[in-house]
Amino acid sequence: MIAGPVLGGVVAGAIGTRSTFLALAACSLLLAVWGAFEPDARAPAERESSFLPALRAAAAERLIAVSFIVILLVAVIGGTLQVLMPLHLGDEGVTQSALGLLYAGGAALGAVTITTTGRLGDRTGRLPLARAGCLATGGAVAVLLLPLGTDLFAFMLVAIIPIQSVLYGVGYPLGADGADRAGLGHGLVLGLINVIWGAGAVVGPVLGAAVATHAGDRTAYALLVVLSVGAAAAIAHLARGMRAEPTIP
């Protein structure tokens, strides 16, 4: 996430898009060869690994439901902003290399945020962080509704990335916590979370761009704010349900 924007912006601007993609393809092939010689990992035998029973158990586990909400939200918001914000800055004259550096800087801050959030979640609990992350992300996107100049808009592009990275820092660990509660394999649950992320990463850019085309960028940003508040409310509801569950000795 840090190197990608640099490669796609600065490096591609210097050596060309075709050469950059060819170099990345070569790296992918080398990783495939390396992976072919690594020993496989196996899930513990006592965990449920059959897909349909595991899917039913995952759907009934509230922590997994929260992880689905969090990851879907960050995928939709991230995908939408990655379409609209560079287009806006490009219209303002910001170059490809500059955009790459902006995204790389945001990703570097995001890496710090994910690490910090993961450790904080271990100590204080992840559900409050999940709610706070949804509200903070919605608040940051709400700033884009203001008439910002180019420099402030570019600053918000960098600032939003670490803010929404909080959701990654709690979303995947919540899925693993839920897998432990439900007796499911981590790989299966995290695979389901990645499916949710993929759906959001497809829907976000398509829906966001369609809304922006017909009603303007600010309308698309306002929709993301509404989704963020709705996600926080849904997480609060699920958290109350967990507190109401009987304690199993």
Residue 132 pLDDT > 50: yes
Instruction: For residue 215, give both structure tokens.
Output: 């009603």
Instruction: Please report the pLDDT score of residue 247 as a whole number.
Output: 43
**Residue 139 CA to chain centroid, in angstroms?**
16
Q: For residue 118, with 0-12 CB atoms within 10 Å meaning exposed, 13-18 middle and 19 or more buried, which class applies?
A: middle
Q: Which H or E run includes 79?
A: helix 62-91
Q: Which of 22, 24, 17 is nearest to 3 (CA)?
A: 24
Q: Which pLDDT score is estimated for 223? A: 96
Residues 75, 201 contacting (CB under 8 angstroms): yes
Give the model confidence (pLDDT) of 70-127 as tens digits. Answer: 999 999 999 999 999 999 999 999 988 889 889 888 988 998 998 899 889 888 889 9
Q: Please name the residues in contact with 2: beta carbons below 8 A apart, sequence gap of 6 or more.
A: 104, 107, 108, 111
Q: 61 in helix, strand or coil?
A: coil
pLDDT surpassing 50 at residue 249: no
Q: Any idea what DSSP says for residue 48?
A: B
Provide the whole-model pTM: 0.81
Q: Is the pLDDT of residue 46 over 60?
A: no
Q: Residue 248: what pLDDT?
A: 41
pLDDT of 54 above 70: no
Residue 21 pLDDT > 70, yes or no?
Answer: yes
Tell me the average pLDDT across 156-178.
93
User: In whole angstroms, what is the distance from residue 119 CA to residue 170 CA?
Assistant: 10
Query: What pLDDT was estimated at residue 242?
Result: 75
Query: Mean pLDDT over residues 181-203, rounded?
Result: 89
Residue 45 clears pLDDT 70, i.e. is over it: no
pLDDT at 31: 94
Long-range contacts: 23-28, Cβ < 8 Å, 24+?
A: none
Burial class (CB in 10 A: 0-12, 13-18, 19+), 41: exposed
The answer to whether 4 and 108 have CB atoms below 8 angstroms apart is: no
